[in-house]
Amino acid sequence: MSAVPSPLTDYVRAVLPKRRTGIARPGTVPEAVAVAPPAVARPERLRRYRELCGLPADGRPEAELPLLWPQTAAFPLTLGLLARRDFPVPLPGLVHVANEVERLRTLPAGAPLGLRVWLGRPFPHPRGTVFPVHTEALAHDVVVWRSVAEYLRRGLVAVDTALDRAVAGSGAAPRALKGASEDSPIQGEFAAADDVGRAYGAVSGDRNPIHLFALTARPFGYRRAIAHGMWTAARAFGALEAAHAAGPAPGPSPMAGSLWARVEFRAPVLLPARLTLAAGPAERDGSEAVQHDAGSLVLAVTDAVTGRSHLRAELRPLPPSSP
């Protein structure tokens, strides 16, 4: 697959019935690779993305793509693969539960990036089976950014129960991770407006009905429209930058440079909502090496009224790759 598919066409294809099965066989996912040729991010689309996600628009960020932008740019390719007739499960019902990202070097906003997306091997999850989707962004044929998005199919049993995340190609989730609480040194608050699902859908191309209106979300079991998980993550990173910049001794941004991040999505954000951010240094139980956590930061996003957990993330700086 070498062209960016039409999201509308893929949404239509996604709702058509498929042969249902209770078992996910690792060999059943399509082996196709979706590719988009190098292209520069459209300035107006990028500006709107930054605005929606609360990302700064001063001189430095204008020259650097936001951490999660390549995932947004690659969404039509991802949708095209998940909506294929030979993908083993229906797209409705897949839940985006986690995203792991590595930015190997700074990505200039004006530089053309190519995109490559493919499906990984399914692996078991306590609540079903996860279908990982791998994405790479390339500059001059060199991988400069990559991610693994994890989509859960609840109730589906994977055949190979010994298959772990390492074999599946997805990094291990943080274990016994502490650091984000009401006492965290970095605190923030932000709003999730009633129309943010529609606004973010216009920028990302993800116009899933669950994000648009209460009326279109109710058939899928939601009382109101819910925020995109990738918007919640990007907005949390924007709030982190703002809170860091407002601190007594800001120093370098925790979102700058080469970076590893893992985001785990908890409860959906029903719109509208007020959300709080807490961030602090990572702490681990056990005997893991201290240097593993050097510079690591843990984020938690919760509902400002109910305290319900919506998102948990860890950020860790990476050594810069060679140019």
Q: Domains of the chain: which residue ranges?
A: 1-173, 175-323
What count of Cα atoms within 13 Å lies in the side-chain half-sphere of residue 34? 24
pLDDT band for position 293 (cuts 50, 70, 90):
low
Give 28-81 pLDDT, tens digit per residue. 788 889 999 999 999 999 999 999 999 877 544 447 899 999 999 999 999 999
Decide if 145 contacts 100 (C-beta within 8 A). no
Intrachain domains 1-173 and 175-323 with the same fold: yes
Percent of the chain clearing pLDDT 70 (strictly above): 75
CA distances, 320 to each of 55, 91, 104, 106, 141 (Å): 22, 37, 6, 9, 18
Percent of the chain clearing pLDDT 90 (strictly above): 57
- Return d(Cα 255, Cα 257) in angstroms, integer: 7
DSSP conformation letters of 93-110: TEEEEEEEEEE-S---TT
- Return d(Cα 104, Cα 143) in angstroms, integer: 8
Residue closest to 207 by CA, chosen among 15, 3, 2 = 15
Residue 193 pLDDT exceeds 60: yes
Identify which of 4-18, 226-240, 284-298 has the greatest average pLDDT: 226-240
Quickly name the fold that domain 175-323 has.
Answer: Thiol Ester Dehydrase; Chain A (3.10.129)
Q: What is the mean pLDDT of residues 150-178?
A: 55
Decide if 278 contacts 299 (C-beta within 8 A). yes
Q: What is the mean pLDDT of residues 169-191?
A: 59
- Return d(Cα 46, Cα 292) in angstroms, integer: 34
The per-residue pLDDT for 321 is 67
CA distances, 189 to each of 68, 169, 305 (Å): 20, 34, 11
Residue closest to 281 by CA, chosen among 134, 179, 181 = 179
Give me the sign of the Cα torsion angle 41, 46, 49, 50.
positive
The per-residue pLDDT for 215 is 96
- Return d(Cα 206, Cα 32) in angstroms, integer: 21
Q: What is the CATH number of domain 1-173?
A: 3.10.129.10
CA distances, 42 to each of 35, 39, 134, 135, 197 (Å): 18, 9, 23, 20, 21
Strands 157-158 and 23-24: parallel
pLDDT band for position 187 (cuts 50, 70, 90):
confident
- Return d(Cα 221, Cα 309) in angstroms, integer: 19
The per-residue pLDDT for 157 is 65
Identify which of 56-70, 147-161, 251-265 has the greatest average pLDDT: 251-265
Residue 88 pLDDT exceeds 50: yes
- Return d(Cα 189, Cα 244) in angstroms, integer: 13
Least confident segment among 105-114, 155-164, 203-212, 266-275: 155-164
Least confident segment among 5-14, 58-67, 244-253, 312-321: 5-14
- Return d(Cα 135, Cα 74) in angstroms, integer: 8
Residue 217 pLDDT exceeds 80: yes
The per-residue pLDDT for 168 is 40
pTM here is 0.84
- Return d(Cα 238, Cα 50) in angstroms, integer: 8
